[in-house]
């Protein structure tokens, strides 16, 4: 096909006849190509919103110039042709599309209500019209034919008149009944065609892609991951091998009927849905009725707020006149019913161009590649940046400067690049393949990627300005050096005001500097000064933990302190010497060595000591056995005299581990008053339960 400009603007009113005809031909080519990709190959290359934009532009041009409308225009049919690999099925009742309301505001719902009232010639004094409000699922439309209550055929929408016979694959969908249930109030008619949507839940989609990635890693040929749940669901329905389709976790919602023959009738659409539910079909729980424009607006806003919490994807809601008699009066216009409309939400995917790829450093030192984009309105906001997650993901998607990409933003989720539009791959100005820098773009420290990790991280935790706030908060927390009153808001103020650049700057703060901060009273400023002074007296494990070395938690910090006795010995220890410490493996040893190999990290340690931070000297541990070595404790409830931290310190000093959860491997549960579920779990598993007195006795009686 031709490769027209993806971003051609609408023609000006003064356009020539030749340019109008050329644009119409261009739009037909675009829509035919991308309709085939979407409906037939299940491999969409552009977001739905972009396709809709082109479709509406062509509709407008054909309305203005009907003499140039062609029989093969995409506006003259519902969808794409069925695959040749499936038997063609003619629908007894055509599966037509419904109109899309692209005004995503409340006015879109109000406009539909106004149109319906006008068509029905209702006066302003007439009561409001009752509607059924439904979700607009993002899946694959299916027609299910039942004869004498038994499923005999399932067909896709296809082009609306002819679809594809996918009965064998649909039989694998557990939510679709093979035989209808017998309802008390209404028996199913002799022939019943049920219409609905086959879709894939988000959690099922993620699990499917995890399995696909595992197969790719094993070297299985022909395997791929899926772009989105709709793509995965459509691909599963159109599998030629039902065994493969059965592996794909598909779901189904019913929302209407096609041909009906036999003794059954309904007077409203909601009555019809309730009958389908009684016969065994799943109907979305959020389906409801609404009165007039006000009811439609309320539903649209309610579902919009819930959209990102739903377990499946939707791209809008659907309004249908509830009365089937009124539906018949309203009838159809062209290819669409007058009595129904799909009201869209802001598109969650759009097309734009990659202008650059930068690397951002997070609060914890993680390096993330970020695509700088030509501004695009998506998910209700203008987006200029989108995450590429990590180097492997950027390379897998092969995103480069100059590419046209699909950007997705759902709710408050950080915008991400979904993939590259294939047509842009021929761009002669494509940039180089992305490679993560080996030094931090903020501070110049080494950027390392540990074995088995997807992310690169900056090693300059105490020095890197991007990590400054996180480093200070970690250092000042209760389990580390503990500076009482130094919380996130105050740290933000101190850093943003330029009063703190590194950890030692904390101890150079004076009363005057603190008192100048907004909402900082003299007493509060003095309290911080006193807390900083108090924090200078700490312990080596707390200080070591407070440095924020990756993989060095409290237990590891205590083990290092007990083993080496002093900070200098730890800073100078080789990886081999570090590996001699209990609970220190190759990854932890390498992380410690990398941290102290950075000269600026060692300088921060020296400056902190110069500021007066100190601790009692420890003797390096001997090879003498620990009294509680090999045991695992869990602490729950309030102890009589020991705080939980103090109890943990005593237990770990005696060689035991302290865990946060009870399991069969737990040796003892140390329980105080108001012990909760952990105590119940211990009794259930038969784990020994002791109190504080019993713990002290164990420690005192041990050699």
Pairing of strands 314-321, 340-344: antiparallel
What share of the chain in percent tops pLDDT 90?
A: 49
Nearest C-alpha neighbor of 7 from the set 423, 431, 418: 423
- Identify the band that residue 302 occupies on the pLDDT scale cut at 50, 70 and 90: very high
Distance between CA atoms of 200 and 237, rounded to whole angstroms? Answer: 11
Answer yes or no: 136 catalytic. yes
The whole-number average pLDDT for the span 269-274 is 96
Predicted confidence (pLDDT) per residue in 359-368, tens digit: 999 878 999 9
Has residue 5 got a pLDDT over 60?
Answer: no
Residue 388 has pLDDT above 60, yes or no: yes
Provide the pLDDT for residue 141. Answer: 95
Instruction: Give me the pLDDT at residue 572, please.
Output: 95
The answer to whether 388 and 357 have CB atoms below 8 angstroms apart is yes
Distance CA 21, CA 277 (A): 49
Does residue 702 surpass a pLDDT of 60? Answer: no
* 468 burial level (CB within 10 Å; 0-12, 13-18, 19+): buried
Among 554, 599, 571, CA closest to 459 = 599
Q: Is the pLDDT of residue 296 over 50?
A: yes
Q: Name the pLDDT band for 85 (thresholds 50, 70, 90).
A: confident
Q: How far apart are CA 251 and CA 489, in angstroms?
A: 46
Given a contact cutoff of 8 angstroms between Cβ atoms, the answer to whether 210 and 216 are in contact is no
pLDDT of 128? 96
Per residue in 319-350, pLDDT tens? 999 999 999 999 998 778 999 999 988 878 88
Q: Give pLDDT, residue 10.
A: 60
Provide the token pair at 270.
């909601």
Instruction: Say yes or no to pLDDT of 409 above 50.
Output: yes
Mean of pLDDT values over 251-272: 93
Mean pLDDT of the chain, nearest integer: 88
Q: What letter does residue 455 receive in the DSSP assignment?
A: -
Q: Out of 398-402, 406-410, 611-615, pick the least confident.
A: 406-410
CB count, 10 Å around CB of 614?
A: 13
pLDDT tens across 573-616, in order?
999 999 998 778 888 999 899 999 988 899 999 999 999 999 98
pLDDT digits 0-9 by tens, 104-134 = 888 999 999 999 999 999 999 999 999 999 9
8 A C-beta contact, residue 535 and residue 476: yes
pLDDT bin (cut points 50, 70, 90) of residue 703 is very low
Q: Is 118 exposed, middle or buried (0-12, 13-18, 19+ CB in 10 A)?
A: exposed
CA dihedral 200, 201, 205, 206 (to 10 degrees): 180
Q: Name which residue leads in pLDDT, 427 or 451.
A: 451
Domains, the chain, in order of start with CATH, read: 17-76 (1.10.287.610), 99-344 (3.30.470.30), 349-426 (2.40.50.140), 463-623 (1.10.150.20), 632-701 (3.40.50.10190)
What's the whole-number mean pLDDT along residues 211-216? Answer: 86
Check pLDDT > 90 for residue 156. Answer: yes
The pLDDT score that the predictor gives to residue 625 is: 65
- Percentage of the chain beyond pLDDT 70 is 93
Query: Tokens for 218?
Result: 């094993």
Task: Write down the pLDDT at residue 451.
Answer: 79
- Please state, in angstroms and rounded to a whole number, the distance separating the CA atoms of residues 602 and 452: 27
Q: How confident is the model at residue 4 (pLDDT cuts 50, 70, 90)?
A: very low
Choosing from 81, 118, 136, 665, the catalytic residue is 136
Residue count (the chain): 703
Q: Give residue 163's pLDDT.
A: 93
Question: Taking the alpha carbons of 328, 333, 336, 338 in that order, is the dihedral positive or negative?
Answer: negative
Query: Of the given ranges (409-418, 546-555, 559-568), which has the lowest mean pLDDT?
Result: 409-418
Q: How far apart are CA 398 and CA 390, in angstroms?
A: 12
Whether 1 has a pLDDT exceeding 50, the answer reads: no
Kindly report the backbone phi and psi dihedral angles of residue 118, in degrees, each rounded to the nearest multiple of 5, phi listed first: -65, -45
| Range list of β-strands (E), 219-291 | 251-261, 288-291
Pull the structure tokens for residue 51: 């396709």
Q: What is the pLDDT of residue 2?
A: 39
Rounded distance between C-alpha atoms, residue 449 and residue 436, angstroms: 10
Residue 84: pLDDT band (50, 70, 90) is low
Quick check: helix, strand or coil at residue 125?
coil
Residue 405: what pLDDT?
92
CB 419 within 8 Å of CB 227: yes
In this predicted model, what pLDDT tens digit does every residue of 22-71 receive, in sequence order? 999 999 888 888 877 776 566 788 888 888 889 889 989 998 999 998 87
Query: Across residues 653-680, what is the average pLDDT?
Result: 87
- CB-based contact 490:524 (threshold 8 Å): no
Residue position matching structure tokens 């070297």: 219
Span 160-176, average pLDDT:
90
Q: Quote the DSSP letter at residue 288.
A: E
- Asked whether residue 511 carries a pLDDT value surpassing 80, the answer given is yes
Task: Kindly report which listed range (307-311, 406-410, 442-446) carries the lowest average pLDDT score.
Answer: 406-410
Q: In the prediction, which pLDDT does 42 show?
A: 65
Highest mean pLDDT among 374-378, 419-423, 614-618: 374-378
Say yes or no to pLDDT of 700 above 80. Answer: no
CA nearest to 286, candidates 258, 316, 257, 265? 316
């Amino acid at each position: 096909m031709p490769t027209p400009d993806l971003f051609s603007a609408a023609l000006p009113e003064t356009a020539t006849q030749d340019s109008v005809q050329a644009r119409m031909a261009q739009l037909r080519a675009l829509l035919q190509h991308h309709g085939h990709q979407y409906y037939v190959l299940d491999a969409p290359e552009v977001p739905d919103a972009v396709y809709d934009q082109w479709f509406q532009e062509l509709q407008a041009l054909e309305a203005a110039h009907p003499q140039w409308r062609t029989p093969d225009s995409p506006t003259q049919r519902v969808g794409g042709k069925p695959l040749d690999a499936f038997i063609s099925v003619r629908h007894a009742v055509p599966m037509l599309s419904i109109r899309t309301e692209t005004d995503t505001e409340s006015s879109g719902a109000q406009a539909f209500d106004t149109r319906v009232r006008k068509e029905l010639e209702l006066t302003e004094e007439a009561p409001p019209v009752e509607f059924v409000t439904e979700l607009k699922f993002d899946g694959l439309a299916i027609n299910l034919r039942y004869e004498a209550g038994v499923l005999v055929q399932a067909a896709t929408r296809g082009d609306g008149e002819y679809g594809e016979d996918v009965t064998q694959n649909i039989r694998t969908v557990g939510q679709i009944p093979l035989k209808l249930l017998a309802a008390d109030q209404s028996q199913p008619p002799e022939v019943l065609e049920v219409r609905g949507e086959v879709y894939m839940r988000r959690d099922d989609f993620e699990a499917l892609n995890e399995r696909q990635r595992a197969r790719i890693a094993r070297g299985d040929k022909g395997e791929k991951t899926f772009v989105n749940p709709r793509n995965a669901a459509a691909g599963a329905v159109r599998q030629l091998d039902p065994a493969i389709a059965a592996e794909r976790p598909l779901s189904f919602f019913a929302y209407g009927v096609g041909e009906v023959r036999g003794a059954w009738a309904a007077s409203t659409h909601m009555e019809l849905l309730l009958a389908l539910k009684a016969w065994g079909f799943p109907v979305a729980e959020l389906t409801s009725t609404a009165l007039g424009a006000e009811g439609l607006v309320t539903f649209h806003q309610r579902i919009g707020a819930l959209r990102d919490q739903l377990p499946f994807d939707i791209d809008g809601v659907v309004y249908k006149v509830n009365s089937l008699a009124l539906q018949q009066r309203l009838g159809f216009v062209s290819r669409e019913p007058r009595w129904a409309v799909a009201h869209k939400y802001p598109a969650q995917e759009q097309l734009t161009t990659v202008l650059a790829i930068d690397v951002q450093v997070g609060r914890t030192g993680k390096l993330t590649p970020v695509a700088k984009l030509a501004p695009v309105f998506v998910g209700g906001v203008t987006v200029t940046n989108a995450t590429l997650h990590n180097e492997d993901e950027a390379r897998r998607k092969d995103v480069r400067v100059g590419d046209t990409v699909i950007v997705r933003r759902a709710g408050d989720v950080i915008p991400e690049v979904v993939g590259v539009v294939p047509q842009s791959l021929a761009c002669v100005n494509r940039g180089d393949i992305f490679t993560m820098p080996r030094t931090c773009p903020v501070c110049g420290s080494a950027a390392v990627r540990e074995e088995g990790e997807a992310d690169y991280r900056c090693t300059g935790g105490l020095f890197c300005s991007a990590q400054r706030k996180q480093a200070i908060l970690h250092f000042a927390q209760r389990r580390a050096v503990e500076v009482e009153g130094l919380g996130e808001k105050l740290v933000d103020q101190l850093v943003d005001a330029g009063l703190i650049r590194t950890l030692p700057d904390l101890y150079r703060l004076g009363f005057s500097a603190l008192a100048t901060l907004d909402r900082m009273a003299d007493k509060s400023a003095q309290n911080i000064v006193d807390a900083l002074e108090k924090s200078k007296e700490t312990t080596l494990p707390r200080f070591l933990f407070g440095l924020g070395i990756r993989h060095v938690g409290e237990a590891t910090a205590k083990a290092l302190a007990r083993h080496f006795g002093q900070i200098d010995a730890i800073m100078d220890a080789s990886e081999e010497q570090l590996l001699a410490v209990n609970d220190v493996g190759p990854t932890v040893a390498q992380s410690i060595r990398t941290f102290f190999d950075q000269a600026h990290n060692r300088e921060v340690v020296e400056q902190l000591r110069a500021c007066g931070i100190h601790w009692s000297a420890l003797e390096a541990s001997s090879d003498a056995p620990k009294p509680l070595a090999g045991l695992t404790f869990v602490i729950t409830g309030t102890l009589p005299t020991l705080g939980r931290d103090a109890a943990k310190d005593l237990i770990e000093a005696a060689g035991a581990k302290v865990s946060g959860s009870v399991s069969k491997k737990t040796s003892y549960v140390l329980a105080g008053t108001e012990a909760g579920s952990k105590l119940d779990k211990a009794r259930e598993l038969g784990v020994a339960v002791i109190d504080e007195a019993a713990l002290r006795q164990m420690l005192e009686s041990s050699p």
